[in-house]
Amino acid sequence: MNLIIDIGNTQAKLAVFEGNKMLFRIQVDAENIFKKIKEIQENYQNIQKAIVSSVGKLDKNSFETLKKDFQLLILDHETPLPFKNLYSTPKTLGIDRIALVCASVEKYSNKNVLIIDAGTCITYDFITVDNHYLGGAISPGLRMRYKALHNQTAKLPLLTSKEPEALIGDSTESAMHSGVFNGVVFEIDGNIEAYRKKNNDLTVILTGGDAKMLSKQLKSSIFANSNFLLEGLNFILQFNTN
Report, as an integer, the average pLDDT of 10-21.
Answer: 91
| 207 and 184 within one domain | yes
| 101 and 6 within one domain | no
| 200 and 117 within one domain | yes
Report, as an integer, the average pLDDT of 41-63.
Answer: 84
- Residues 234 and 226: their CA atoms lie apart, in Å, by 14
Domain boundary among 74, 109, 134: 74
Which residues constitute the domain of residue 18? Answer: 1-74
Amino acid at 45: Q
Alpha-carbon separation of residue 235 from 100, 168, 191, 240 (angstroms): 10, 44, 27, 9
List, in order, residues 6 or more apart from 28 with CB less than 8 Å away. 11, 12, 14, 36
| 180 and 240 within one domain | yes
Of the listed ranges 54-68, 142-156, 194-208, the one predicted with least confidence = 54-68
CATH of the domain at 50: 3.30.420.40
9 pLDDT higher than 80: no
Domain boundary among 31, 52, 74: 74
| 126 and 29 within one domain | no
Of the listed ranges 28-32, 201-205, 235-239, the one predicted with least confidence = 28-32
- Which position among 6, 96, 125, 210 bears the catalytic label? 96
- Catalytic residue at 96? yes
| 163 and 107 within one domain | yes
| 238 and 192 within one domain | yes
Distance, first Cα to last Cα, the chain:
12
- Residues 45 and 171: their CA atoms lie apart, in Å, by 55
Count how many domains the chain has. Answer: 2
pLDDT value of residue 62: 75
| 203 and 112 within one domain | yes
Residue 145 near residue 153, CB atoms below 8 Å: no
- Among 54, 59, 46, 64, residue whose Cα is nearest residue 14: 54
Q: What is the pLDDT of residues 112-136, one digit of tens each?
A: 999 999 998 999 999 999 999 999 9
Angle between helix 228-241 and 95-107 (nearest 10): 80
Give the 3-state secondary structure of the chain.
CEEEEEECCCEEEEEEEECCEEEEEEEEEHHHHHHHHHHHHHHCCCCCEEEEEECCCCCHHHHHHHHHCCEEEECCCCCCCCCEECCCCHHHCCHHHHHHHHHHHHHCCCCEEEEEEECCEEEEEEECCCCEEEEEEEEECHHHHHHHHHHCCCCCCCCCCCCCCCCCCCCHHHHHHHHHHHHHHHHHHHHHHHHHHHCCCEEEEEECCCHHHHHCCCCCCCEECCCHHHHHHHHHHHHHHC
pLDDT value of residue 7: 87
35 pLDDT higher than 90: no
Residue 23 near residue 44, CB atoms below 8 Å: yes
| 113 and 190 within one domain | yes
58 pLDDT higher than 70: no
Give the pTM: 0.90
- Among 142, 189, 135, 144, residue whose Cα is nearest residue 162: 142
pLDDT band, very low/low/confident/very high, at 200 (cuts 50, 70, 90): confident
| 199 and 149 within one domain | yes
Give the burial string for 142-157 (b: 16+ CB within 10 Å, else e).
bbebbeebeeeeeebe
| 92 and 62 within one domain | no
Q: What is the pLDDT of residues 143-184, one digit of tens each?
A: 999 999 999 999 999 999 999 999 999 999 999 999 999 999
| 118 and 46 within one domain | no
